[in-house]
Chains A and B, each alone.
Chain A
Amino acid sequence: MRAKISIWVLCLFLAGCSTVKKHPHFDKRAKEVQTVSVMAPDVQITRIVFKGDNEILFDDGKAASGTILKALETELARRGYDVKPVSTTAGETIAADHEAAFELSKLKERYAALLNDLQKKKGKDFRLTLGSDINRFADMTGADILVFATGSGYVKSGGEIAKGIAKSALIAAASLGTVIYIEQDFGGQLFVSVVDGDNGDILWHNFANPALAYNMTKEKVVRSMAQQVIASYPGRMRFEEVAVIQAAPAVSAEEADIGRAKINLPLETVKMTAKTGAVVTEKTLDLTEAVLKGTLFLGKTVPRTTKSLVQLGATRSSEGDRAHAIEAYEEALKLDRQNPAVHLLLADLYLQEGNLNKAEKYAKKSIQLDGANPAAHGILSRIFLKKGLHAEAEKEMNLFQAPAPVQPTV
């Protein structure tokens, strides 16, 4: 019994722990990344049968591969990356080119081999590379980074499940109910790595915890696995940049026109959230910046508003001057105590400072003012994780991963 409790504690611990590993130059390189392509993942699902000659579920494997591909693309686009789909562009070129197709197979094999090395690496930092052969595929799609994924899973046949139940019943009967033995009917794992398109270095790596049971024949489960694994990959825009837009009032049509005129941005490409602006695209950011710049260009005096103070704070923060950034945000808060984004900015900065109590206070206030903002849940999850509150962290992480609100077009 004690052993079973230990396993549960271990599972909970693993579920709460970060499994992310990074290349030492990840932070530097990640800032330059604009475009990303997800390579079709290799997924193998096996049905374990009573007779022993297990069956490979090819169709389920293909379906899972498609789901993972789509989920990763969607999540990365959600984070502001320009996703170049391999399936519609370079995919055909690769399939037609005999050597390119083999090179890709080889790269995937090498990636699978590197995963073993990666699992052996202690600590969160590592240096592993797929080499310059990656260039061919990064060039085909025009991507800065390529995402590689590989997964495997199993499900048991009816006979095998029946055997498990019978075994469980026999053990329970023999031990007079003191031992409850339960066999898992399915399981799965998924590994995802982000690879530098320039030199093939693996920049970032994460995996879906195999200690948790995943049925990879279920589309919803597979999608959730992929979302979970990529969830901790940073968005294209830095947190401060998102918050600048959050802090700003909704852009009026007139302001948008000014901005558009300044940078020649076609209206139809602009998408943004009208209210919270929690999720923004590259174009939205350009537009907002253009609006701000446009205002300055038109010679208007920039008043000491929440917006200008937040911008100042963001600049200080990007320069690494957290003390002055906090000062600017505190000032902004004095002008607008009900601004959820400013609370969130302060939560993030205090988190970086290691002041977890203050960070928690601001994050919770931000959620109280605007519970629909997933970023606030993401920050709160990280705070709880640092505090060792794994169950709470997981709860907040789930809220962070909830689907993004529909974004109306301006």
Chain B
Amino acid sequence: MPKGAPLQFFTALFLCVMFAGGCGTSRKEIVPLGQTGLSAKEEKERREIEAMTRQIQADMESRRVFYEEEELTAYLHEVARPFLDGLNLKEEEKANFKIRVLRDPTVNASALITGDIHFNSGILSRLQNEDQLAFVLGHEISHVYHQDVLYYTLNLQRKTVGFKIMDLLLAPPAAFVGASGLSDLALGLFYAASIQGYGRSEEAFADKFALEQMTKTGHDPAASISFFDILLAEKTRYKRGIEIFFLSSHPSNTARKQQASEWLKSNPAKIKIEEGLEKTPSDRFQALTAGVRLQDVKLNLDFRRYFHALELVEKIRGIKKDETMLYFYEGEIYRRLPEERDKIKEELSDKEWEKIKKVEKEKQDKEWRDKAFEAYQKALVLDVAHAETYKGLGEWYLQEQKLTEAAGHFNKYLELKPEAVDRRSVLRHLRDIEELTQKEAVT
């Protein structure tokens, strides 16, 4: 056997097993929800996935991760209803589609086998209108209706079993060259790449399904283009936030945008139909999602995604009436930035981070601190009794080593909010300030 032949043989064998396992399911074979035709094995698998999903759901419930706002939840169901009515489903099956908002700042949406569709507050905050919402909703409904989770799992099993048999076959020759661990590593990478996400065909199908349904329900399918622009902008600006499912495991967003454009071009008749329908009102969408947006600013801040928080503040300024709170958040973001350069580097894309790095650190820090102070002042102009802003200013003065002013603002905070949940940390600051002041007096 010529040199290199064994490797070629095993590579060929591996690829055969992988492809035999991975290409088993084409979209033609799929049994949509509510239809008969699933095999006994598929039925069993479906029940198992459902059971696991319900346990995960129960865990999520106990963590109170859902954003509960009755009006918003009703609205999401209202938008989804025409999509569901267009499907061959019984009423009780339609009732299983429960749409909820997850308090999670990452840009994501997900569909579970049980019919639950979760919109992260992160994605909802970025959407600009109901049409974009309808596109995401249509996409996720497609995943549930076409039972993509089930077929994904079955596909995964086939590929995994293929991979593991291959691992066994490849192990001995690898051991001869003293690299038994390498067979795991090298194949593991290929294997991981081949099973990520639902797969291109499922995602492309879900996009197309959403576009079709949008025209039928009176939504503008062109909104899909602006939606992809949002995702692409996110990817250009950030490193964090694009690690999430809706963006990264799908085919590239550029390819999806291209596919949507082509669909729009090839379906002018459908667009025409849509033109005759009443445009979906944007104001209602903005009003109903305002609470989520404000909460998402706080979530981004809590999870140290400062530039995401800042972008959102800028976006909702002028729409949301609670300007005081927005200025307070802005102050908080800028106040924390000088101490969080590592996190900024993690959050921003390399290109954006380079822009910050170009500015001299001290100059940049001062600019941020000044902006923080300015934002706090604006918050107090709007509401002189805004307790949180006094605490923020207390922290600001503490960073500036201005102990008297810091103590004054902390005391004001406690005066305005004597039962504050974070009272203890403020008292601790005051104690530390007192100690420092005494030390300074001695020296």
Contacts and interface: CB of A to CB of B under 8 A. Distances in A.
B175 interface: yes
Given A53-B157, A113-B303, A171-B175, A139 B424 contact: yes
Contacts, number: 106
B143 interface: no
Given A51-B161, A174-B172, A135 B63 contact: no
A167 B424 contact: no
A104 B103 CA distance: 13
Contacts of B303: 109-110, 113
A337 interface: no
B173 A167 contact: no
Interface in A100-122: 101-102, 104-106, 109-110, 113, 117
Given A56-B55, A171-B175, A179-B175, A101 B62 contact: yes
B316 interface: no
A200 to B, nearest CB: 7
B233 interface: no
Chain B: number of interface residues, binned into ranges: 35 or more
Contacts of A113: 303-304
B422 interface: yes
B176 interface: yes
Nearest to B174: A171
A149 B55 CA distance: 22
A336 to B, nearest CB: 42
Contacts of B8: none
Contact of A198 (B68, B173, B424): B424
Contacts of A200: 425
A178 B68 CA distance: 62
A265 to B, nearest CB: 29
Nearest to A117: B342
B302 A106 contact: yes
A287 interface: no
Contacts of A58: 55, 59
B158 to A, nearest CB: 9
B155 to A, nearest CB: 10
The 7 A-B residue pairs whose C-beta atoms are closest, nearest first, are A52-B160, A174-B172, A132-B425, A132-B422, A105-B63, A198-B428, A102-B64
Contacts of A27: none
Interface string A132-170: 111110110000000000000000000000010011001
Interface string B58-72: 010011110010000
A101 B160 contact: no
Given A50-B161, A131-B425, A135-B424, 12 more contacts: A50-B164, A52-B164, A55-B52, A56-B55, A56-B56, A98-B68, A102-B103, A106-B302, A132-B422, A174-B172, A174-B175, A174-B176
Contacts of A301: none
A197 interface: yes
Given A53-B156, A101-B63, A170-B168, A138 B424 contact: yes
A56 B159 contact: no
A95 B427 CA distance: 27
A344 B345 CA distance: 50
B164 A163 contact: yes
B421 A179 contact: no
A198 B427 CA distance: 8
Nearest to B427: A198
Nearest to B181: A181
B20 to A, nearest CB: 15
Contact of A136 (B172, B302, B421): B421
A99 B65 CA distance: 9
A10 interface: no
A135 B422 contact: yes
Contact of A175 (B62, B159, B163, B175): B175
B172 A173 contact: yes
Contact of B424 (A101, A166, A197): A197
B178 interface: yes
A167 B174 CA distance: 11
Interface string B310-329: 00000000000000000000
